[in-house]
Amino acid sequence: MNAIVFLIQCSDQKGLVAGITGFFSSREYNILHCQQYTDVLHSQYFMRIKLEDVSQLDKATLEQQFSEYAKTLSLTWSVRYSDQPYRVALLVTRASHCPYDLLLRELEGELSCEIPLVISNHNDLAAMAQQFDKPFYHLPISKDTKDEQEGGIKSLLTEYDIDLVVMARYMQILSEQFVKEYVGRVINIHHGFLPAFQGAKPYHQAYDRGVKIIGATSHYATADLDEGPIIEQDIQRVIHDNNPEDLAMIGKDIERLVLARAVKAHIEHRIIISGRRTIVFSEGV
């Protein structure tokens, strides 16, 4: 069964649910699921509505008609079709745990997406990409070649028609121009529970502070390092005799799960970015 998912946001006002659902039902779309959230502090309304694609309207006509309707209510919206799976590029460096996990989830059907390539600034994970039969592109970077290297990344993203870029422990800072060009389409995993312990060696910082929980954060990349809208987080309790290596090992497991959940939410069209926050609708619908 093919499905269509709309994400909608606007200023809160009366009659939104009746009006939006009426638009689709009048065109003979079967509404499979509808979730909504009202931010009463800022008077903002958010909706995710999933439709069975049984109407006689083609995609272009549906979008044109909904665009006209959206203008009457000042709606901001986006749409995704289940017969057009997300194409996801992985940016990696040397750590294999996050990209390997995503590639395995794609292979086993846990992530309904296509990962057509892996890009890295080092050669270390070429064998991993080969194991999953993925093209591997080694684009080394130095202080003097950053612009050229990012240009190479952009060329590959265009060539492979990429929808989403995942920084799967890609230990480079993307330029302001890059993240602006791909705003809302670059997901990063931070090996720490933001906003605490930013920067290098967060687990050593956590050890020095004697923390009792550690965690990981997945967020959209922005020009401000580690400041993008947070998508997913998780934590685990630790004790005083866990050394930095113990914390790093525990952290890797959390990072895998957090990044996978964030990517899954994005490709299932369940996230609306609202300023510095995200609205993440529930899974499995």
Distance of CA 170 to the CA centre of its chain: 15
Per annotation, catalytic residue among 226, 234, 241, 246: 226
- What's the pLDDT at 195? 53
Token pair of 243 as six digits: 């050394």
Among the listed residues 72, 74, 71, the one whose alpha carbon sits nearest the alpha carbon of residue 11: 74
Q: How many CB atoms lie within 10 A of CB 15?
A: 9
CB-based contact 268:105 (threshold 8 Å): no
Token pair of 40 as six digits: 């009463």
Per cent of the chain over pLDDT 70 is 96
Query: What phi and psi, each to the nearest 5 degrees, are found at residue 164?
Result: -140, 135
Residue 214 pLDDT class (50, 70, 90 cuts) = confident
Token pair of 116 as six digits: 């057509």
CB-based contact 119:90 (threshold 8 Å): yes
Task: Transcribe the chain into DSSP letters.
Answer: --EEEEEEEEE--TTHHHHHHHHHHTTT-EEEEEEEEEETTTTEEEEEEEEES-SS--HHHHHHHHHHHHHHHT-EEEEEETTS-EEEEEEE-S--HHHHHHHHHHHTTSS-EEEEEEEESSSTTHHHHHHTT--EEE----TTTHHHHHHHHHHHHHHTT-SEEEESS--SPPPHHHHHHTTTSEEEEESS-TTSS-SS-HHHHHHHHT-SEEEEEEEE--SSTT-SPEEEEEEEE--TT--HHHHHHHHHHHHHHHHHHHHHHHHTT-EEEETTEEEEPPS--
Average pLDDT in the chain: 92
pTM: 0.91
Q: List domains and CATH numbers for the chain.
A: 3-81 (3.30.70.260), 86-280 (3.40.50.170)
Taking only the tens place, the pLDDT of each residue in 240-254 is: 888 888 988 999 999
Query: 147 catalytic, yes or no?
Result: no
Taking only the tens place, the pLDDT of each residue in 59-93 is: 999 999 999 999 999 999 999 999 999 999 999 99
CB-based contact 38:44 (threshold 8 Å): yes
Among all chains, which residue has been given the structure tokens 């899974």? Answer: 283
Q: How far apart are alpha carbons 99 and 161 in whole angstroms?
A: 20
- What's the pLDDT at 60? 95
